[in-house]
Structure formats: C-alpha cells, structure tokens
C-alpha cells in the first residue's frame, strides 16, 4: 500500500511538472499573440530567410523593450533586468525558423560547451567568451571579426546569429551580462 502511494505521489509530481512546463510554453506563446506588432516583423524576416535584416530587427526589438533609442544608451545593468519573456520569444523565433541553428539558447548552449558558466560570465572572464567566439566564427586567428564580415547565411557556423546584438560600446562586459541574463532566465 505504501509503495502504491509513493508511486501515485511520484506520478502526481510528473504531471504537475508537465503542466507547469506546458503553462510556461503557453504563456510564452500568448506573449507573441498579444504582441504581434512587436514580433511580426522579426518573424516575417526569419521566415523568408533574411537573416541580416532579422539580426538588425532583433536589436530594434531589444531596444524598444528597453525604451532606449540606441545601443550606446543601453547599459549592462539594464540587461541584468531585461524581461526573460521577450528573450524567449526572440529565441523561439530564431530557433524555429533556422532549424535550431541560431538563437540565444543555441549561443548559451555553446558557451556552456566551451566551459562557460554563470560564474564566469559574472566574473567577466574573457576566456570562455573567446572560446565561444572561436567556435561560432566571431573570431579568426585570435582576432574578433567585424560585423561586416558576417554573411548571414544558413550555412554559417551554428550559433553565430543573432550577432549584431553583441556589438556594443560596452564590449565584452555587455556580452557577459547578457550571457548571465540568459542563465538567470533559465535558457
């Protein structure tokens, strides 16, 4: 009898976890539905394979949400508090329309694969970031590449887009704050 009760409790836990995950996915989907105007241009660009313009639109969406006119006015501290729901919608659009090749979650997964952690991002450790740059093609021969060298093709290295977002006057500090935000948003 006790064994049956334990199994029932375990089953209830699995059901509850599944429901929680489904509710989170539905909430994210509703964010897109209720904010069609915000995300539809990005969705349309990704759907048609226009990665360069989609990359630029990603920046516009982030800046609009942060209520700042340009990247120079967006501080790393503002990124620490950036809404996870917006990042998730942007990520879902990128991963959906690029066959899971590009998106923030892909970049974070690759950052983890090269030894990056929340702690290394918070500590502003440049080594994992350099390894990520090497892995996704942002660096070549130990030098960071310029944005105009990005071809914005589906044949580019997995995880390299969106990339325009990473170009910030705060440099690596902004990238590390952004990566730490992806960790805290539980990507």
Q: What is the pLDDT of residues 90-141, one digit of tens each?
A: 999 999 999 999 999 999 999 999 999 999 999 999 999 999 999 999 999 9
* Gyration radius of the chain over CA positions: 18
* DSSP β-bridge partners for residue 139: 144
Q: What pLDDT does 133 receive? A: 95
**pLDDT band per the 50, 70, 90 thresholds, residue 32:** low
User: 């508090």: which residue's tokens?
Assistant: 81
The model's pLDDT over 38-85, given as tens digits with 9 standing for 90+, comes to 899 999 999 999 999 999 999 999 999 999 988 888 998 899 899 999
What are the CB-based long-range contacts (under 8 Å, 24+) for 49-55? 49/97, 49/154, 51/98, 51/102, 51/152, 51/153, 51/154, 51/161, 52/150, 52/152, 54/94, 54/161, 54/162, 55/150, 55/152, 55/161, 55/162, 55/163, 55/164, 55/165
User: What pLDDT score does 161 carry?
Assistant: 96
Residue spans of the domains in the chain: they are 1-34, 39-184
Structure tokens at 176: 């590390």
């Amino acid at each position: 009898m006790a064994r049956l009760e334990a199994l029932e409790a375990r089953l209830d836990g699995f059901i509850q976890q599944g429901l929680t995950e489904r509710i989170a996915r539905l909430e994210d989907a509703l964010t897109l539905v209720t904010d069609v105007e915000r995300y539809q241009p990005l969705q349309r660009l990704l759907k048609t394979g226009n990665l360069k313009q989609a990359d630029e639109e990603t920046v516009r969406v982030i800046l609009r949400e942060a209520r700042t006119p340009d990247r120079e006015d967006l501080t790393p501290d503002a990124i620490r508090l950036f809404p996870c729901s917006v990042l998730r919608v942007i990520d879902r659009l990128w991963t959906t329309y690029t066959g899971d090749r590009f998106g923030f979650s892909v970049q974070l997964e690759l950052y983890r694969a090269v030894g990056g952690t929340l702690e290394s991002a918070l500590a502003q450790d440049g080594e994992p970031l350099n390894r990520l740059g090497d892995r996704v093609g942002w660096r070549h021969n130990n030098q960071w590449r310029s944005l105009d060298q990005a071809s914005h093709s589906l044949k580019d290295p997995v995880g390299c887009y969106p990339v325009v977002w990473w170009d910030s006057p705060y440099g690596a500090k902004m990238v590390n704050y952004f990566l730490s935000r992806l960790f805290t948003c539980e990507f």
